[in-house]
């Protein structure tokens, strides 16, 4: 038995969550529903304009790993923070949830701080993200522990982490160590504009190394440069053993073993869409690594996603296993 079931690698961020109306987004040049990268100057300026905010640990893959840990999975996370107040909050929340988190903190006092993501939640629950990567951008191959990567059944790679000078080398090291020990590789495309920035690198990785691809509708359409969703799903399934593609209120599609399952979303009063895809991925991976079939894992993904969008913040608050039992999938 391997020490870990899933090890995730991504941008370690603390979310700064605030509500605003769509006029505020327009006035401040913020594109609704996507992730934009900003520098520290813009982060300080924007923070001065938003209303009262709440700081909650985030980071896409970290949210996924937090979900897996809450479910009782054996899991670890790799991502870089600074030895500052936000860094301490991030590390505490992940470890307190039961995940192993050992990435060395960067020293305080340099030009960078712990990364943060100013998330503006619109009245309809959609989230618009403004990310200042801070230290998370500077994850290097030295931060990847090959022994840890060899000790996991799956690695989970965050597409957002393709932004950054040494991130591709860090991913390559993690993939080689994981696969060399018989482990499998999952990747999330993260964001349609992230796909635009890194399409060729994503495509190479998908073809050569990825066993399980997570995406949402917009991301997979961008990846395969088509407006035809069915065609994009087929194209992905021709390259990857397992495709898990979410479609907001329409649920999710799982393609594997030549089959295609459609799993419905749960009817949910959406408060804050942040983390829906992250928790879908976490519950799906937890399901697969605990012997459940693809369709059941997909249903678990949708249940976990519906929990996280029912409140502010991208980490689960309710007991996910209890929700699975209540929905008859556990
Ligand atoms: O986006 C990932 C997952 O979150 C989807 O597969 C759904 O399970 C869930 N989800 C996302 N957006 C919505 C929404 O607007 N309504 C509902 N009911 N579920 C959603």
Question: Which residue carries 């080398």 as its tokens?
Answer: 169
Q: Is any ligand 1 atom within 6 A of the Cβ of residue 276? A: yes
Spatial CA neighbour of 16 closest among 131, 133, 122, 163: 131
Res 164: pLDDT = 87
Q: Is any ligand 1 atom within 6 A of the Cβ of residue 265? A: yes
Q: Which atom of ligand 1 is nearest to the CA of 263?
A: 6
Contacts of 146 (CB under 8 A, 6+ apart): 173, 177
- Report helix, strand or coil for 128: strand
**Which pLDDT band holds residue 21 (cuts at 50, 70, 90)?**
very high
What is the distance between the alpha carbons of residues 271 and 211, in angstroms, rounded to a whole number? 33
CA distances from residue 106 to 15, 84, 111, 214, 217 in whole angstroms, order as listed: 19, 9, 11, 30, 36
**CATH superfamily name and code, 4-12+59-111+137-327:** Ribokinase (3.40.1190.20)
Query: What's the rounded mean pLDDT across residues 98-108?
Result: 98
Query: What's the rounded mean pLDDT across residues 65-73?
Result: 98
What is the distance between the alpha carbons of residues 21 and 267, in angstroms, rounded to a whole number? 24
Cα(first)–Cα(last) distance of the chain, in Å?
A: 23
Write out 77-92 in H/E/C secondary structure. Answer: EECCCECCHHHHHHHH
CA 250 to ligand 1 centroid distance, Å: 7
CA 277 to ligand 1 centroid distance, Å: 8
Contact between 67 and 91 under an 8 Å Cβ cutoff? The reply is no
**Of all helices (H) and strands (E), which one includes residue 77?**
strand 75-78
pTM above 0.90, yes or no: yes
ipTM of the modeled complex: 0.93
- Report helix, strand or coil for 187: strand
CA 50 to ligand 1 centroid distance, Å: 26
Q: Is any ligand 1 atom within 6 A of the Cβ of residue 251? A: yes
- Per-residue pLDDT tens over the stretch 3-13: 999 999 999 99
- Report helix, strand or coil for 87: helix
- Per-residue pLDDT tens over the stretch 159-201: 999 988 899 999 999 999 999 999 999 999 999 999 999 999 9
- Which of 34, 190, 217, 248 is the pocket-test mutation for ligand 1 (most atoms within 8 Å of CB)? 248
- Per-residue pLDDT tens over the stretch 209-238: 999 999 999 999 999 999 999 999 999 999
Q: Is any ligand 1 atom within 6 A of the Cβ of residue 305? A: yes
Residue boundaries of the structural domains of the chain: 4-12+59-111+137-327
Q: Is any ligand 1 atom within 6 A of the Cβ of residue 138? A: no
Res 287: pLDDT = 98
Question: What does the mean pLDDT of the chain come to?
Answer: 97
CA 10 to ligand 1 centroid distance, Å: 22
Q: Is any ligand 1 atom within 6 A of the Cβ of residue 248? A: yes
- What percent of the chain is modeled with pLDDT above 70? 100
CA 281 to ligand 1 centroid distance, Å: 12
């Amino acid at each position: 038995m391997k020490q870990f079931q899933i090890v995730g690698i991504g941008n370690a961020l603390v979310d700064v969550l605030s509500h605003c109306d769509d006029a505020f987004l327009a006035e401040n040049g913020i594109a609704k529903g996507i992730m934009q990268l900003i520098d520290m100057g813009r982060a300080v300026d924007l923070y001065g304009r938003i209303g009262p905010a709440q700081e909650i640990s985030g980071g896409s893959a970290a949210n996924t790993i937090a979900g897996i840990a809450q479910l009782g999975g054996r899991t670890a996370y790799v991502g870089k923070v600074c030895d500052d107040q936000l860094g301490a909050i991030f590390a505490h929340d992940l470890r307190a949830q039961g995940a192993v988190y050992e990435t060395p903190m960067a020293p305080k006092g340099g030009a960078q701080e712990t990364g943060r993501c100013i998330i503006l939640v619109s009245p309809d629950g959609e989230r618009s993200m403004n990310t200042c990567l801070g230290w998370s951008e500077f994850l290097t191959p030295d931060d990847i522990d090959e022994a840890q990567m060899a000790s996991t059944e799956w690695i989970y790679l965050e597409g957002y982490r393709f932004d950054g000078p040494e991130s591709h080398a860090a991913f390559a090291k993690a993939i080689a160590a994981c696969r060399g020990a018989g482990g499998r590789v999952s990747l999330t495309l993260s964001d349609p504009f992230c796909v635009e920035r890194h399409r060729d690198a994503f495509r190479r990785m998908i073809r050569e190394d990825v066993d399980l691809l997570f995406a949402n509708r917009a991301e997979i359409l961008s990846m395969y440069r088509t407006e035809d969703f069915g065609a994009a799903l087929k194209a992905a399934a021709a390259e990857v053993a397992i495709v898990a593609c979410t479609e907001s209120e329409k649920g999710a599609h799982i393609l594997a073993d030549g089959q295609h399952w459609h799993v419905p979303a749960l009817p949910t009063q959406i408060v804050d869409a942040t983390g829906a895809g992250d928790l879908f991925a976490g519950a799906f991976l937890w399901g697969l690594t605990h012997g459940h079939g693809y369709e059941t894992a997909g249903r678990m993904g949708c249940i976990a996603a519906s929990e996280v969008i029912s409140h502010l913040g991208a980490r689960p608050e309710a007991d996910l296993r209890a929700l699975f039992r209540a929905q008859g999938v556990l």
